[in-house]
Structure 1
Amino acid sequence: MTQTYASLLWGPLTRFGLRFAVAAAAADQAVKLWVLYGLDMPVRGSLRLTPFLDLVLVWNTGISYGWFQQTGEAGQWALVGVKVIAIALLWIWLARAPSRLVAASLALIIGGALGNAADRIAWGAVVDFILFHITTPSFTFRWYVFNLADVAIVAGVVGLLYDSFRGSGAAKAP
């Protein structure tokens, strides 16, 4: 029975994936600390980097795209709970990953989720700060404000989609 539980949580590519998850979460947290304390974005407010890229501090108390905003402590902890369940399920999938691409992709999603969960625990909201935008005399487009954890999650999803379209069928969830 113990071996069954162990195989549920640890597979041949889990250690490989764990490196990606830790790297994604650590990079996310390091960049957020730099934005908050190195660049002093809470005081500065925003910083134009290029004509299409700004750093703008946003405290996201909801989920993706700012949906389901939670201002109370119970709502914030409920979102942390949902993340913990998602991470656990993704970890089980990672333990069964049939390829390095699938393992790395799942690990990036896990690392991104861990980075955003750490924000929610530490500050009660996720630190978002990257804003892409296009402004012309006749057109304005502003993407939602996001962070490095979100980039890791999207990269992981793209990796899983690529693997599924490759025809190997390897990205099937348990």
Structure 2
Amino acid sequence: MAKPHITRWGWTAYAIAIAVIVIDQAVKHWILNVFDLPLRGSVPVAGPFHLTMVWNQGVSFGLLQAGHDLARWALAGFSLAVAFFLAGWARKTERPLLATALGLVIGGALGNLIDRVRFAAVADFLDFSRLYFPWVFNIADAGITVGVILLLADSLFGDSSRK
């Protein structure tokens, strides 16, 4: 039986996903256990940037709040399914922008999945609400958001040979 082929850009996507997970979880560990943000609530950092502890039971940026345990596990299962689907797609990718996008989304989905399994909610703490950005978010959310933007950019501009 032939071994499944993973492209060079597929490996890049996986490396980016691992980096996002490691950075996300390391920062969350520091926020929760070293800096002890849950006891502090909200701390000004610089200008409009604050660290504010929010436990998010919904999806990214607090959308679709899921206070019931069944919803928690449904969201966890959905995150895992998305990550597996995108990992399969990444395995075959031949474009650097697409690999970067997929790696960011996979890493973000798995980073938040880890929180959902460990804490029954996602730890959010990056607060720019003083800039009229109403959501408190985390590194994984940022990875998902930037990854989706890059996916859109890749779909519009990624393969100039199609045009």
Q: Work out whether residues 25 and 149 of structure 1, in 8 Å CA contact, stay in contact via their aligned partners in 2.
A: yes
Partners of 2:45 and 2:158 in 1: CA distance: 40
TM-score of the superposition, structure 2-length normalised?
A: 0.89
The structure that has the greater radius of gyration is 1
2:74 to 75, 78, 89: 78
1:169 and 1:157, CA in 2 relative to 1: closer, same or farther beyond 3 A? farther
RMSD: 1.9
2:145 maps to what in 1?
154
* Bigger share in helix: 2
Shift of 1:13: 2.3
1:115 lines up with 2:111 in the alignment:
yes
Instruction: Please list every run of 5 or more consecutive structure 1 residues that lacks an aligned counterpart in the other structure.
Output: 136-140
TM-score of the superposition, structure 1-length normalised?
A: 0.84
- Secondary structure in 2 matching 1:18: helix
Name the amino acid aligned to 2:4: A
1:6 maps to what in 2?
4
Partners of 1:161 and 1:70 in 2: CA distance: 28
Between the aligned residues of both structures, percent identity stands at 37
Shift of 1:22: 0.3
Shift of 1:58: 0.4
Aligned pair count? 161
Name the amino acid aligned to 2:126: I
Shift of 1:153: 1.2
Q: Work out whether residues 163 and 169 of structure 1, in 8 Å CA contact, stay in contact via their aligned partners in 2.
A: no
